[in-house]
C-alpha cells in the first residue's frame, strides 16, 4: 500500500508530527502544560499504581484527541480552503470531540484528586 520505511524513520515522522502540532496548536500546548501540572500534583499526593494508570490513560486520551482534531482541521483546510458550511461543521464536530475528552478528564481528575486532597481514602 504505502512506502516502506524503517522503524526509526517511522518514529522520526511521528516525533516531527508532534513537534509541528506543538508549534502550531496553542490548545495542545495548554493541554501539555496542564498535564505536567497534574502529574506533579499526583507525585506530591502519592498516587498509587492504579491511579497512575487511570491518570496517564486520561492524559494521553486528551492529547491524542487534540492531535486527531488538528489532523482533521488540516485536512479540511487542504480540501476546502474556501469557507464552506460543510467544512465548518467538520471542524466544529472535531473540536467537540476534544471538548468531550477534556470534560471527561476533568471528571476523572476530580474522582482521583478529591479523595486525596481531603483524605477520604
What cell was used for 16?
516531527
The answer to whether the beta carbons of residues 69 and 95 sit under 8 Å apart is yes
Active-site choice (66, 73, 82, 86): 66
What cell was used for 84?
464552506
Helix orientation angle between 7-24 and 26-44, rounded to the nearest 10 degrees = 100
Can 51 be counted among the known catalytic residues? no
Three-state SS for 121? Answer: coil
**38-13-56 Cα angle (round to 5):** 20
Residues tagged active-site: 66
Amino acid at each position: 500500500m504505502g512506502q516502506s520505511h524503517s522503524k526509526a524513520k517511522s518514529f522520526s515522522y511521528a516525533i516531527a508530527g508532534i513537534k509541528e502540532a506543538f508549534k502550531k496548536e496553542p490548545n495542545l500546548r495548554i493541554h501539555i502544560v496542564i498535564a505536567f501540572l497534574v502529574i506533579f500534583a499526583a507525585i506530591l499526593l502519592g498516587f498509587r499504581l492504579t491511579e497512575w494508570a487511570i491518570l496517564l490513560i486520561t492524559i494521553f486520551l486528551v492529547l491524542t484527541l487534540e492531535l486527531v482534531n488538528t489532523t482533521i482541521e488540516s485536512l479540511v483546510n487542504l480540501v476546502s480552503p474556501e469557507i464552506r458550511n460543510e467544512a465548518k461543521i467538520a471542524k466544529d464536530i472535531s473540536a467537540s470531540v476534544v471538548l468531550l475528552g477534556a470534560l471527561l478528564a476533568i471528571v476523572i481528575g476530580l474522582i482521583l484528586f478529591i479523595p486525596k486532597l481531603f483524605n477520604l481514602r
